[in-house]
Amino acid sequence: MSRTPSISYYVAMPGGELPLNDEVARTLLPMERSGRERPAEASVTFGGYFQSLGKMLSDNHFALPLAGVRHQLGEDAQADQVREWRVVAEKHGAFYHPARVEAVTDRGTALIAANVALSDSGIAAASREFEVLDSLGRGFSRSFTPAAYGKGRAPCLLSQGGVVEAEAFFCQWYEGYCEFHLSCNPASQAQEIVVWDNAHGHFFMKPCQAAALYEKAAAILAYYYDPGDFRQIFPWHHAAGDFVVKALQDDLDVRLITVRQYQGMLEAEGDTDPETRLEAALYFLVNLTMHMRLDRIDGVGDLAWADGASVYPTLRGAFQGFALRGLDAGQDPEFAAALLGICREMPREYWEELCFQLVAASSPQSPDRPFLLTRGGEHAQALVEAFFKSRKDPFFVDKGAVLL
């Protein structure tokens, strides 16, 4: 006879996981980082949140999370093989309240992310992101973004009565991967990258680790860039924690956990001519390298700008991503090498103009815009120096992106 596995609920705290009790159940969910409250969502308690999420999990004999269990532990996995479901509320952002769902079985534990949206804007964002993740998962032979498992919807009770509709999309959870940000290292009094490792303690990266992080993040974005129709993953932002890193014994691994949009920054009509393809690729590189340097201090403070040393590993990673995509897609195998040759010959003034045009075209309401407008000249010089350095050092491997 089949049995219904139990679902236990916890809230992630700095000192560990706090089990759900009556007091926690009555506690209101934290709002987004800016503190701006939204009327309905501001009245959701942890009790209402977990009750809604529990219903989405258990509907149709746990069909939604079971898709993740089968993806991670084997297609023959069945719901009655799960001894326990553990749900941990992890963080609270502008659109989602993500939870980590653990399916405990005899063959291992599957880890699933449940990105719960409680506002109209959050639900719209969740629907878009699920579709993008699902499309990327089906359209590429390799994956550097979470596998998409499905969407659910359920009513969520409010603390003062009434309900709000909750929607969640379920996807792969990257265990052991941590958020990172630019921060001031008290030991060196210098701006460095701090990794928020809650399991083993926060730590500042060494320069070689920071270079590898920028290189791998750039390679991921370039791998998904389509030189034919200009589709790319954007927007993304380090301040939002879109990339995560996992420190390994002698290396590190990087993943992109949030994909809000996948479309072209320039419009492509039919077969694009070489000049338009070149222009689009140059804008992509400028946008990628500028935003790779952009963050907020500790994720929430003032806007921060990584030093120029980050540009070279960013470009190195970008060209490795280009090369790998060309091999996997069987298209434009010479795209990366041809583009690199052109970039090496471009003068500083041209790069500066591209930087200015790109930032000037962004939304006037963007807080990043005035910050970036004052840094175009310095960034253009960093690009020129990085491409000059690439003449001496191997910039990418012809047979693929070894760093991925």
Query: Which range (25-34, 109-118, 290-299) has the least confidence?
Result: 25-34
| pLDDT the model gives residue 403 | 47
Average the pLDDT over each of 89-93, 151-155, 169-173, 386-390 and give the range with the smallest value. Answer: 89-93
Is pLDDT of 270 > 80? Answer: no
Look at residue 160 in the predicted model and tell me its pLDDT: 85
How many angstroms separate the CA atoms of 333 and 250, rounded?
A: 31
Comparing 396 with 106, the larger pLDDT belongs to: 106
pLDDT of 399 > 50? The answer is no
Query: Is the peptide bond prior to 370 cis by the omega test (within 30 degrees of 0)?
Result: no
- Whether residue 231 has pLDDT greater than 70: yes
Residue 196, pLDDT score: 95
- Rounded Cα distance, 61 and 120, in Å: 28
AA identity, residue 355 = C
According to the model, what pLDDT value does residue 1 have? 45
Identify the pLDDT of residue 268: 61
How do residues 97-107 score in pLDDT, each as one tens digit? 999 999 999 99
pLDDT digits (tens, 9 = 90+) for 291-329: 999 999 999 999 999 999 999 999 999 999 998 888 776
Q: What is the pLDDT, as a whole number, of residue 34?
A: 46
Q: Is the pLDDT of residue 397 over 60?
A: no
pLDDT at 361 over 60: yes
Q: What percent of the chain has pLDDT over 90?
A: 77
The crossing angle, in degrees rounded to 10, of helices 207-223 and 274-293 is 150
Instruction: Assess whether pLDDT exceeds 90 at residue 95.
Output: no
Q: What is the mean pLDDT of the chain?
A: 91
SS (H, E, C) the chain: CCCCCEEEEEEEECCEEEECCHHHHHCECCCCCCCCCCCCHHHEEHHHHHHHHHHHHHHHHHHHHHHHHHHHHCCCCCHHHEEEEEEEECCCCCCCEEEEEEEEECCEEEEEEEEEECCHHHHHHHHHHHHHHHHHHHHCCCCCCCCEEEEEEEEEEECCCCEEEEEEEEEECCCCCECEEEEEECCCCEEEEEECCCCCCCEECCHHHHHHHHHHHHHHHHHCCCCCCCEEECCCCHHHCCEEEEECCCCEEEEECCCCCEEECCCCCCCCCHHHHHHHHHHHHHHHHHHHHEEEHHHCCCEEECCHHHHHHHHHHHHHHHHHHHHHHCCCCCHHHHHHHHHHHCCHHHHHHHHHHHHHCCCCCCCHHHHHHCCHHHHHHHHHHHHHHCCCCCCCCCCCCCCC
pLDDT tens-digit map of 29-69? 987 544 444 666 778 999 999 999 999 999 999 999 999 99
Q: Is the pLDDT of residue 404 over 80?
A: no
Question: What domains are there in the chain, each with its CATH number?
Answer: 6-172 (3.30.200), 180-389 (no CATH)
Residue 30 confidence (pLDDT): 87
